[in-house]
């Protein structure tokens, strides 16, 4: 495997809880004092950090021996220029996989679970010991992979946002969103706490919590989408959260499928505080205020996760 210099292995990392605490409190002793003062086990933070660093070092040694290598911290993803020949390796939780996929254009992703005893890792099929063999199969073109359909939001002023798991369109704070919803040739003014648009990849996440709540209120136990839908399906699912019926707002279109033939269009009726964000990253958002029209559909870009 040595000498595969036509490939570049990009190792994407995330900060540990310990590193984030040090950023907040400037030093570890100050952070430790804060934790222990609040009866929190500081040793757990140390153990997690130490194991993660060991896994990073193992991955770096393996990848450097196989070809060109680049270490990349998650916050740099939006500005990093990936090449078509890159093979991307993530070490972290499920959220790191989703966040990484969004900035790629079909490059394969190998997701490593650094701590199987701590993280379930539904999107992390490999452990650190699997890395050499998985890279060998990937380079040889023999690895199985799953295709992941993305959601895309496009505004009438030319802005664009991708989502690997889901999009949220609604109010910035705990207030009501007002908008005109257009879907399948029909339209309706609505007032709600926002709209969630889920991909197949995200259909076992936020979407499931909304569905479970609705089934509980309705006194039902089953639904065709109770277990989500396939990652590769050319569909998205939209759900209106807490729709409010009134003289001027309806509840006739609160749940439905978005396909290439049936996109979803929303026109904001909010003077301020309307937002669109993806994959739970609220700090990175598009404004969705009066005058903004957003069309939501399937993205041309798709992800490739090695399995």
Hey, where are the domains in the chain? 8-143, 150-299
Predicted pLDDT at 242: 92
Predicted pLDDT at 218: 75
207 vs 40, 115, 276, CA distance in Å? 32, 26, 16
Q: Which of 46-60, 124-138, 212-226, 234-248 has the lowest mean pLDDT?
A: 212-226
Q: What is the mean pLDDT of residues 10-26?
A: 96
Predicted pLDDT at 4: 61
Q: What is the mean pLDDT of residues 154-174?
A: 94
Q: What is the mean pLDDT of residues 87-92?
A: 96
Q: Residue 3 above 70 pLDDT?
A: no
- Is the fold of 8-143 the same as that of 150-299? no
Q: Which residues contact 7 (CB under 8 A, 6 or more apart)?
A: 66, 67, 68, 85, 86, 87, 139
Which CATH number fits the domain 8-143, given the four candidates 3.40.50, 1.10.3470, 3.30.750, 2.60.120?
A: 3.40.50
Mean pLDDT of the chain: 92
The model carries a pTM of 0.84
Kindly report, residue by residue over 227-263, the tens digit of the pLDDT.
889 999 999 999 999 999 999 999 999 999 999 999 9
In the CATH scheme, what is the homologous superfamily, with its name and number, of domain 150-299? Probable inorganic polyphosphate/atp-NAD kinase; domain 2 (2.60.200.30)
Q: What is the 3-state secondary structure (H, E, C) of 106-126?
A: CCEEEEECCCCCCCCCCCCCE
Q: What is the mean pLDDT of residues 25-38?
A: 94
Both tokens of 128, joined, read 């650190």
Predicted pLDDT at 208: 83
Q: What is the mean pLDDT of residues 90-106?
A: 91
């Amino acid at each position: 495997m040595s000498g595969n210099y036509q490939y570049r292995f990009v190792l994407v990392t995330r900060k540990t809880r310990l590193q984030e605490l040090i950023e907040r409190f400037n030093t570890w002793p100050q952070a430790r004092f804060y934790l222990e003062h609040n009866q929190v086990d500081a040793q757990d933070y140390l153990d997690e950090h130490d194991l993660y660093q060991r896994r990073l070092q193992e991955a770096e040694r393996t990848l450097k021996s196989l070809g060109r290598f680049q270490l990349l911290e998650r916050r740099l993803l939006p500005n990093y220029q990936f090449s078509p020949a890159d093979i991307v390796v993530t070490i972290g939780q499920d959220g790191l996989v989703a966040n990484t996929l969004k900035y790629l254009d079909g490059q394969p992703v190998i997701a490593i679970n650094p701590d199987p005893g701590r993280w379930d890792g539904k999107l992390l099929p490999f452990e650190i010991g699997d890395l050499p063999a998985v890279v060998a199969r990937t380079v040889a073109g023999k690895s199985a992979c799953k295709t992941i359909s993305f959601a895309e939001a496009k505004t009438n002023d030319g802005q664009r946002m991708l989502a690997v798991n889901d999009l949220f369109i609604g109010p910035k704070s705990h207030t009501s969103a007002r908008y005109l919803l257009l879907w399948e040739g029909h339209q309706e003014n609505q007032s709600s706490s926002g709209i969630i648009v889920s991909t197949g990849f995200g259909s076992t996440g936020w979407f499931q919590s909304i569905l479970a709540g609705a089934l509980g209120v309705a006194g039902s136990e089953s639904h065709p989408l109770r277990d989500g839908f396939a990652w590769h399906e050319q569909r998205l699912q939209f759900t209106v959260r807490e729709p409010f019926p009134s003289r001027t707002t309806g509840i006739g279109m609160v749940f439905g499928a978005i396909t290439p033939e049936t996109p979803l269009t929303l026109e904001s009726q909010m003077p301020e505080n309307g937002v669109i964000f993806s994959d739970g990253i609220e700090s990175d958002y598009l404004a969705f205020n009066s005058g903004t029209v957003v069309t939501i559909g399937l993205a041309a870009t798709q992800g490739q996760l090695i399995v």
